[in-house]
Amino acid sequence: MASIRRFPAEFGYVLPLLLLMLAVFILPIVLMLARSVTQPEWTIEHYQNLIETSVYLRVLGRTLRIAVITTIACAVLGYPLAYWMRGLSSQRQVLATALVVLPFWISILVRTYAWIVVLGNAGVVNRVLLDLGLVGAPVAFLYNELGVIIGTTNVLLPFLVLPLFAAMVRIDDRLLHAAESLGASRSTVFRRVFFPLSLPALAAGSILVFILTFGFFITPAILGGGRVPMVANALDLLINQFARWETAAALSTVLLVVTLACFAVSRWVGARGATS
């Protein structure tokens, strides 16, 4: 009975936040879903248009390809970095973590335009390559998929390194020492003990990077120069230039479904990691 009497007061504390979430998050998603299947009657014409129009399929395929490559690049670069940070002393770990977090203090626009200075035809990288005689003409790093992948990897790498490093720090060193005491080499300890324990965090971080890349807008717009449209850029065109709200809603629904599927995979990986 006491718990029943406390329920209204406790619910009153949560109610403002619940109403805010309904108004700011849930209602816009419901309206978007409704708009994607109405014209004004119920229809799936907008989804058929996405399937039958090759432009949208190419945009989805390009976005998926860039997201996969960016995720792999972040995993290849981020795992050794997180592993190296784990081996540092406590004070140096704090310093290394601060350096990883430092890019968050700089505007993403500034960081993205900085890549134009670095990778442009007259940029630092091309000048070095030309001075060394490695190339005869400037390499086209920008305004293509390569430039977009470099930019997105740079922006999203901390999102993988930080949670992966936190998971690695929690791995008990006694497990590694026990394996070494049984005669296992350092490579065997890493392969058979450390890597399997860190794999769930690597998978969860990779899924997070994939989700963020799939909805990226600023970096593809700048480093792609309008030549590498992704889903977010296509939505900007459909809404702000062509005013095709129904098609934009259908494309947004596809993006939402992919995000929810990735989130479900992340939860599954986390559950398996918790039980293993």
Residue written as tokens 């229809």? Answer: 43
Q: What is the pLDDT of residue 1?
A: 46
Task: Give the global pTM.
Answer: 0.84
**Burial group, residue 67, by CB count within 10 angstroms (0-12, 13-18, 19+):** buried
Domain ranges of the chain: 47-275
Evaluated on CA atoms 235, 237, 243, 247, the torsion sign reads: negative
Nearest to 154 by CA among 128, 120, 119: 119
- Let me know how long the chain is: 276
Close Cβ partners of 251 (under 8 Å, ≥ 6 residues apart): 50, 56, 231, 234, 235, 238
CATH code for 47-275? Answer: 1.10.3720.10
Q: What is the pLDDT of residue 96?
A: 93
Q: What is the pLDDT of residue 70?
A: 95
Q: What is the pLDDT of residue 158?
A: 94
Q: Which segments in the chain show pLDDT lower than 70? A: 1-10, 269-270, 272-276
Q: How far apart are CA 62 and CA 86, in angstroms?
A: 35
Q: What is the pLDDT of residue 151?
A: 92
Q: How far apart are CA 223 and CA 115, in angstroms?
A: 8
Q: List C-alpha distances in Å: 118 to 124, 137, 249.
A: 5, 16, 37
Q: What is the pLDDT of residue 235?
A: 87
Nearest to 215 by CA among 177, 179, 263: 263
- The answer to whether the beta carbons of residues 156 and 219 sit under 8 Å apart is no
Neighbours of 78 (CB within 10 A): 26
Q: What is the pLDDT of residue 273?
A: 60
